[in-house]
Amino acid sequence: MPSIEHVSKRPLVLWLGILLGFIVLLLSFPSQSQWFITRTLVNSAEGYDQYIQNYPKGPYLEQASWRRAKLKNDPALYLDFAADFPKHPQHELALWSAAKKLRDPAVYAEYLKQYPEGGLAKAEGFNVNRLRISAKVYHNEQKRLTSLNYGKVVDAEGHSYRSIQIGGLTWLADNLNLNINEASFCFLDSKAYCDRFGKLYNWLGAQDACARLGEGWRLPSLEEWETLCLNYDPEGNLDKGSTKVFHALLKGGKSGLEARGGGYFTPEGGYIGVYFDAAYWTGSPANGLESYEIVFLGREKRTFKAIAERAYALSCRCVRN
């Protein structure tokens, strides 16, 4: 009879035992196990997201947060990491990475506050003195805004505006952005301009928009605009144009009204003037077809009153007693 060779089952049993032990180990230490798999096999931003979600207090949270921020290269994640782990060896790199991507004076200021020598900035050839100037301007602006004591107004769509008391009246300190069907527009029909400068309204739309802010809110009259301007230029000059009023009411001026160069629309010229010029409706009619407006000309640096057809689309500020 042919001989039958017996195969030992010991190696198979050994491997099954090792596999069973590995499974027991994974189940016994789930956080460490998922970190091992994520780090060695997955190594993706999504994998680190999943680890952080599953183990928000896990032993590898710092490493996972840093690797996620680097892989996504997201300034918000860099800032979150810097805030959550101030003693991590990559803390300075996280702050500087966010500052480079955002180019925001506030982030430059925070970076230089924690790292006054600006080591990483210097190493990459950035002019640290310019960063310090940007940070100083930011700090000065924050002090100015804090001293103005703004209130807060929220419209029916959830947009938030600052408000400020000037001369016994409460004025919006931001351009209105409330939608009024067929009476409100975005510059060049682009939502990005509305997000930055608010909407443009025809005259009736501006009145309707202010009324929708709530009881007492209205479009300011020409007289109320003129009274406001007299606070900053007692000689008036709104007929010819006032440089003093321009600087006081403009964004960054001492009044806190923060007028913005939102541009305007006319049927003849289309959308014009954004970033440089602004025109605001008053509630005062000039005649049967036109109403008074307050105009800011950026290149000439003067503010004056004028008359506009009611179909024009201008920026809107609201007021109440």
* pLDDT, tens digit, 9 for 90 and up, residues 244-290: 999 999 998 999 999 999 999 999 999 999 999 999 999 999 999 99
Low-confidence ranges of the chain (pLDDT < 70): 1-10, 12-30
- pLDDT of 98 reads 94
- pLDDT of 86 reads 94
- pLDDT of 1 reads 47
286 and 185 inside one domain: yes
215 and 100 inside one domain: no
pLDDT digits (tens, 9 = 90+) for 116-129: 999 999 999 999 99
> What percent of the chain has a predicted confidence (pLDDT) above 90?
73
69 and 93 inside one domain: yes
Which of these three, 120, 145, 170, is where a domain ends? 145
288 and 159 inside one domain: yes
- pLDDT of 30 reads 64
- pLDDT of 26 reads 47
305 and 289 inside one domain: yes
- With respect to residue 16, please indicate whether it lies within any of the assigned structural domains: no
* CATH number of residue 296's parent domain: 3.10.100
SS3 string, the chain, reads CCCCCCCCCHHHHHHHHHHHHHHHHHHHCHHHHHHHHHHHHHCCHHHHHHHHHHCCCCCCHHHHHHHHHHHHCCHHHHHHHHHHCCCCCCHHHHHHHHHHHHCCHHHHHHHHHHCCCCHHHHHCCCCHHHHHHHHHHHHHHHHHHHHHCCEEEECCCCCEEEEEEECCEEEECCCCCCCCCCCEECHHHCHHHHHHHCCEECHHHHHHHHHCCCCCCECCCHHHHHHHHHCCCCCCCCCCCEHHHHHHHECCCCCCCCECCEEEEECCCEEEEECCEEEEEEEEECCCCEEEEEEEECCCCEEEEEEEECCCEEECCCEEC
- With respect to residue 29, please indicate whether it lies within any of the assigned structural domains: no
156 and 295 inside one domain: yes
119 and 42 inside one domain: yes
- With respect to residue 49, please indicate whether it lies within any of the assigned structural domains: yes
* CATH number of residue 117's parent domain: 1.25.40
63 and 172 inside one domain: no
Residue 216 is part of which domain span? Answer: 151-320
- With respect to residue 21, please indicate whether it lies within any of the assigned structural domains: no
